[in-house]
Structure 1
Amino acid sequence: MSKILVICQYFHPEQFRINDICCEWIKRGYDVTVLTGIPNYPQGRFYEGYGLFKKRKETWNGVKIIRIPLIPRGHTPIGMVLNYFSFPISGFFWNIFAKIKADYVFMFETSPMTQCKIGVRYAKKHKVPLYLYVQDLWPENVEIVTGIKNRLIIGPIDRMVDKIYAACDEIFVTSPSFVKAVTGRKKSVPEIKVHYWPQYAEEFYSVVDKKTANLNIQKELATDTKAIGELQNDQTFKVAFTGNIGYAQGLQILPQAAMLLKEIKNIRYVIVGDGRYKSKLMEEIHQSGVEDMFIMIDRQSPELIPDILALCDAAYISFMDTELFTWTIPAKLQSYMACGMPIIASASGETKRIIEEANCGRCVPIGEAKSLAETIQDISAMSKEERHNLGVNSREYFEANFKKQKLMDEFERYLNREK
């Protein structure tokens, strides 16, 4: 039985796709150990039941989990920096004493890329193949999130990234544009080892009938009777956004668009999730005087999202207006498509390309509230059959391009190649 050591700063109960990837490897007969941190994302504090002296080792769905100390990210830039550096520092000492024997190392890289230093050291020490799955490009992501452009800071990060890429046997990225970004660096990475491997959506993301959805949300959102009532109201046109509510999502456009649609009484925005920008977004909604147009639902288990989407009429994606996000295919795009949703996006680049190829919705320029409001109004005015057809196109594109079994089979060929 081949043994895979997974390095990722975030893991169950934090909600990232690496959770499902590991469970799939277990089903396929691999022995999987995950080295991760103490869960604190996105709320910035340790999850209840976890801590420096609580649940540092556990097994979940057959996956062995080792949690090393880190500083929770909090809600300040300093907290995030401390969080980013505390995990690899802990990993340095873990590497000295670790007795785990793995056949492969797989690094699931969402920010911070500093976490990958742990995997590089382990693979070099034990002389095993090293795989990297890039979700966030560095240093580009650092520049966008922090606003830092100073080469005295960005330069060392750039050199760290070069060393990580050079140490990897294979590099997988989530969009064709990321392939160009990685191979086109000043210290170029050979094209032969960089592969486009799109994210899939877990199998529970699927088209759900409204009757089932109603039953499930009544059970899971039992204490939130206002949200249940709003979701079950068939007289309103509901646009859903689910997932991390961060600054990078550019969600300030929603209250701006809502103000332009105030006279249309049947438009609602359903916002499901948590994140660093949520309190600011709620403040902007209040200041805009459009609270009655928003249904705010706290972070839910991923399994409930298809039910919530089933009671909505369209799903929404947006970004900050930066070049990096034109290269990005967000994970929620696959999730929305798997659920057969018409999609409205404030996006360009890869996201726009896919939505247009699939003919499953509409894209508007990033930051243009007037265009977004007009697009929401246009899609709300469509017949149910027209919107249904957009949803069918969404699911069909997902089946053809982002199906889990197809993509996991593809990756497994790389594992078998190393035997």
Structure 2
Amino acid sequence: MRDLLIITNYYPPETGAAANRIFHLADGFQKRHFNVSVLTPLPNYPKGKVFKGYRGTFKTFSVENEIKLHRLWIYACNSKNKVLRLLSMVSYSISLILFFCFNKVPKTVIIQSPPLLVAFTSIFFLRSKSRKLILNVSDLWPIAGLELGAFKKNFGYTLLEKIERFNYKNADLVLGQSHEILDHIKSLFPEKETFLYRNYPKIHSPKVSLTPNPTNKIKLVYAGLLGVAQGIYKLCHELDYSNLEFHIYGDGAERSQIEGFIKHNDKLPLHYHGEISRSKLHKVLLEYDVTIIPLLKRIYGSVPSKIFEYSKLGIPTVYFGGGEGETIIKENNLGWIAQAGNYTDLNNVISNINISELSIIRNSIKKAADRNFDFDLQFDRLIKTI
């Protein structure tokens, strides 16, 4: 049985796409007879506070689903203050260094990026001719941070670019979730070995109901992180509610603003349901007609994993973010496209959705997802490269 270590910032019981993605990665290897260990912080995302049951300790060890989990100390923080967020990353990096010093590290290591600093620490200390380092890149930093307005082109940004290039250069294999990510890496290091690893979910795909929606209003739903990049608070302001009701699930930095908006606009068909487990969410989502995947700004390299998750459930999507995600929606007929940042176009797209055709559309989407987004098929190809 081959030993494999995965280093990540996110892992269940944390929620969100990143934690789910890494869990399925670890579980996929374990089910293919790898001896999998995971290094991850004490769970704290997205609230920025260590979860109950993990507080008051510097590290824990457990075995879950036959995967060895080492949870390390971190200064948990979700503050907008850049210094505090940096301190959080540094604290976890220190915990990783201590782990590397006192524990045997396998010959095959998968390192999640971003965060860049955590990936840099892992690659810097684990470089070895006898060890294979695999960098799993889910977003392009610092480019994405620049596009979101989190960074400015200054000395700090230049330093992050150097760290990014160091990580790519010293990784033996780079996994990227989008063609844009791999194109960017190849532009810097043309000879680098890469592999397109989409965030296909490993979930049960329910049978799609063909019962038409009896109401006249579209039941639109968003589920996920309520962060700045998603722009759900602005979306609440801009939607035309004359032909829809909007339901929100999740947690994040904009939660209090969204709750405040709903409180002061209680006549609108706008509902916030809090955060629920992923298994419950999959059942709840089936009650809605259409999902929406918004990005406040188009982010180069980003492909929201919700695209694949929702399509596997047979739920049509209104995509409002541009980029490669838009291409995937179009090529696989998974829903509708609204011009990124154009709320007039978004409202027009939603108003033209034919409710009577939704059941047929859902069945078509489910078939396309089962055909094109196969987790096991992709994973078996990945195994051959490692």
TM-score by length of 2: 0.91
1:249 is paired with a residue of what secondary structure?
A: coil
1:341 is paired with a residue of what secondary structure?
A: coil
1:250 maps to 2:231: yes
- Cα distance in 1 for partners of 2:86, 2:105 equals 31
- Cα distance in 2 for partners of 1:278, 1:233 equals 31
- Cα distance in 2 for partners of 1:205, 1:164 equals 37
- Give the match for residue 311 of structure 1: 287
Number of residues of Structure 1 aligned to a counterpart in Structure 2:
380
1:134 CA drift (Å): 0.4
- Cα distance in 1 for partners of 2:60, 2:163 equals 29
Change (3 A) 1:156 1:52: farther
Do 2:303 and 2:324's aligned partners in 1 also have CA atoms closer than 8 Å? yes
- Cα distance in 2 for partners of 1:244, 1:409 equals 30
Look up the equivalent residue of 1:62 and give its one-letter code. E
TM-score by length of 1: 0.84
1:76 CA drift (Å): 2.9
Query: Which residue, out of 160, 167, 172, partners 1:169?
Result: 172
Do 2:322 and 2:340's aligned partners in 1 also have CA atoms closer than 8 Å? yes
Do 1:208 and 1:306's aligned partners in 2 also have CA atoms closer than 8 Å? no
- Give the match for residue 224 of structure 1: none
1:252 is paired with a residue of what secondary structure?
A: helix
Do 1:7 and 1:118's aligned partners in 2 also have CA atoms closer than 8 Å? no
Report the identity percentage: 22
- Cα distance in 2 for partners of 1:253, 1:365 equals 16
Residue deviations 1:325-360 (CA, integer Å, cap 9, x gap): 253211111111111111111121211111111222
Query: Which residue, out of 101, 106, 109, partners 1:105?
Result: 109
- Cα distance in 2 for partners of 1:358, 1:390 equals 12
- Give the match for residue 9 of structure 1: 9
Query: Which residue, out of 297, 300, 303, partners 1:321?
Result: 297
- Give the match for residue 259 of structure 2: 282
- Cα distance in 2 for partners of 1:43, 1:142 equals 20
- Give the match for residue 133 of structure 1: 136
- Cα distance in 2 for partners of 1:21, 1:374 equals 39
- Cα distance in 1 for partners of 2:254, 2:99 equals 33
Query: Which residue, out of 297, 309, 332, partners 1:335?
Result: 309
1:113 CA drift (Å): 1.8
1:336 is paired with a residue of what secondary structure?
A: helix
Query: Which residue, out of 64, 86, 89, partners 1:81?
Result: 86
Do 2:116 and 2:160's aligned partners in 1 also have CA atoms closer than 8 Å? no
Do 2:30 and 2:67's aligned partners in 1 also have CA atoms closer than 8 Å? yes
- Give the match for residue 328 of structure 2: 354
- Cα distance in 2 for partners of 1:96, 1:71 equals 20
1:363 maps to 2:337: yes
Change (3 A) 1:393 1:253: farther
1:34 maps to 2:34: no
Look up the equivalent residue of 1:154 and give its one-letter code. Y
- Cα distance in 1 for partners of 2:328, 2:128 equals 41
- Cα distance in 2 for partners of 1:95, 1:191 equals 29
Look up the equivalent residue of 1:274 and give its one-letter code. D
Q: Please, what is the CA RMSD of the aligned residues? A: 2.4
Residue deviations 1:137-170 (CA, integer Å, cap 9, x gap): 1111332455321421011111111111111111
- Give the match for residue 56 of structure 1: 60
Residue deviations 1:280-299 (CA, integer Å, cap 9, x gap): 23334445x26642221222
- Cα distance in 2 for partners of 1:349, 1:70 equals 34
Do 1:6 and 1:32's aligned partners in 2 also have CA atoms closer than 8 Å? yes
Do 1:203 and 1:404's aligned partners in 2 also have CA atoms closer than 8 Å? no
1:125 CA drift (Å): 4.8
Change (3 A) 1:208 1:276: farther
Look up the equivalent residue of 1:85 and give its one-letter code. V
1:241 is paired with a residue of what secondary structure?
A: strand
Change (3 A) 1:306 1:411: same
Residue deviations 1:201-242 (CA, integer Å, cap 9, x gap): 12235456599xxxxxxxxxxxxxxxxxxxx99664211111
- Give the match for residue 118 of structure 2: 115
Look up the equivalent residue of 1:39 and give its one-letter code. P
Higher helix share: 1
Look up the equivalent residue of 2:382 and give its one-letter code. F
2:229 is paired with a residue of what secondary structure?
A: helix
1:276 CA drift (Å): 1.3
Do 1:205 and 1:303's aligned partners in 2 also have CA atoms closer than 8 Å? no
1:377 maps to 2:354: no
Look up the equivalent residue of 2:319 and give its one-letter code. A
Gaps of 5+ in 1: 212-231
- Cα distance in 2 for partners of 1:116, 1:327 equals 18
1:240 is paired with a residue of what secondary structure?
A: strand
- Cα distance in 2 for partners of 1:41, 1:144 equals 23
- Give the match for residue 298 of structure 1: 274
